[in-house]
Amino acid sequence: VNTAYALLALMAGKYPNEKPIKRGIQLIASRQCPTGEWKQEAIEGVFNKNCAISYPNYKFIFTIWALGKYAKIYNNP
């Protein structure tokens, strides 16, 4: 999820060098499971300083968004 956040920010900011963005996209693609999902790697947040919060769909929403935005910007399916 953090990689996807960073990639979305770089693409939204029109970062002029595609190379680090492409490397991030390749990392996301390489971590995708054969089933099409991405594994939950860490807790997304903490509430009240002692309660872990998990948002199971975050790993899908932001990674798919980053992959789609990259494909749209760089015409790379």
Average pLDDT along the chain, 77 residues, taken 10 residues at a time: 93 97 97 90 74 80 95 85
- pLDDT the model gives residue 62: 92
Helix axes 18-30, 2-12, angle to 10 degrees: 150
- pLDDT the model gives residue 46: 77
- pLDDT the model gives residue 41: 75
Which tokens in the block code for residue 25? 């996209």
Which tokens in the block code for residue 37? 């999902």
Pairing of strands 45-47, 51-53: antiparallel
58 and 38 in contact (C-beta within 8 Å)? no
